[in-house]
Structure 1
């Protein structure tokens, strides 16, 4: 699968601005994380419209994707609206039907991203954006929160959150294109679980509580016995001793039922 990955804006075009951040920096970081995660999968080629803070025109982006013969065009953005709006939304071109292949890809990526991003779900939308109109392959543009909103901006500032958003995009790509992980030697990962909840709101409250105590955490969806739960993870380590140290920090913060999950990769 050939993915053309497009971090929105860049160089002389900062994009949206808010809470001391420029959109061009956030989109680049998310996109670079997507590229890094995808190195773990077989038969995936990634070409990026930019890998640094450089100016690239919209026409250059779509021309490059088209001439390269990309299978999918994924454009990463953030939103802004006077600080009053918040949440995540994504777009395909307005000419496409809900039964098109592009719309089916949108369905898959949308669900995977909102499962992990801790943002309000503003839905799946259509628009006549240049990168959606002029790309000759299926294309999706994602708007990852409102940079000028207090809630969304606080998340956008966190490197761990941006990595998690990247993981959501990759999860969608993996499902949409049936990507397979590279076969490597097994490693052990120790994950610190700080609660599992039926309510996403309750899970977000637990993650926010940990963040206020200086412990990076995020919420991920997981299926248990056929039911969806929202699990709060407060770290993942390849070293058991480091995992146990983090577990003690979480317990001292007040989450007495936290525990370690041992996973083999």
Structure 2
């Protein structure tokens, strides 16, 4: 699999800014982590990056390079911004593509894997007429990994361990989508996480109210639909932790807010 990996913006173009962060720097850091995880852990993978430093590169240069290299996939890494109130994760394919296209199938897989680990509100799978999606000759995806101007998302973007988790989510998606074969000495790419559930609701609007409450307290929260005994429920997940002590600490934070919470594992 030949992956063209594009950290958005760079050089004279900082991208979105907020909370003391620049998008171009976050994009590059996550992309390098994706590259290193892929090359270290999977066979028969080639990665070409649009940039590996804080350099300026036009959109046309990026897509021309990917097309000339005959890449199998174009993955563009970004962060979002709005007005400080929007938050969460979303990704995009080109708006001319059907939901049954190969590109949409890859989006479904990668979206699922990234959403499992990023502890961000899931804003959904979307379509747009972005240059890198329109002008690339191969299937392409652009991911928006949180809102840099939202204090809660920015706190995660600032955390190297969170960026590593997000990179691993992208890699897990690529491995599934392209059926990559792990190297013999590769570690398990999908370790168990201790997930903190801060409420389960039959009505989605109630789950959304709980998410808004936790977000106002600068605590991550996402809605995870589940089917229990044939009925649809909406769980509010407030973090996924490799260390159970950290999960227990989140439980204590929630209890201080008067919210009963519990832990589940993968």
TM-score (norm 1): 0.75
Partner of 2:87 in structure 1? 86
- Size of the aligned set, in residue pairs, is 233
5+ residue gaps in structure 1? 213-218, 222-228, 236-245, 256-265
Show the counterpart of 1:120. 121
Q: How does 1:91-110 map to 2 (within 5 A)?
A: 91-110=92-111
Does residue 27 of the first structure (1) align with residue 35 of the second (2)?
no
Aligned counterparts of 1:253 and 1:90: Cα–Cα separation in 2: 28
Q: Deviations over 1:55-101 (max 9, x none)?
A: 01101100110000100000000110010111111100111111110
- CA 1:86 to 1:57, structure 2 compared with 1: closer, same or farther past 3 Å? same
Structure-2 residue corresponding to 1:16: 16
Residues 213-251 of structure 1: CA distance to partner in whole angstroms, max 9, x if unpaired?
A: xxxxxx9x9xxxxxxx9784345xxxxxxxxxx97x998
2:41, 2:186 within 8 Å by CA — same for their partners in 1? no
Shift of 1:254: 9.1
> For 1:170 and 1:76, how far apart are their aligned partners in 2?
12
Task: Provide the C-alpha distance between the structure 1 equivalents of 2:167 and 2:41, rounded to a whole number of angstroms.
Answer: 14
**Residue aligning to 2:204:** none
Distance across 1 between alignment mates of 2:86 and 2:251? 33
- Residue 67 to residue 16, structure 1, CA distance change in 2 (3 Å): same
Cα distance 1:253–1:173, how it changes in 2: closer, same or farther (>3 A)? closer
> What is the root-mean-square deviation in Å for CA atoms of aligned residues?
3.7
Secondary structure at 2:171's aligned position in 1? helix
Cα 1:198–1:130 shift into 2, 3 Å: same
TM-score by length of 2: 0.75
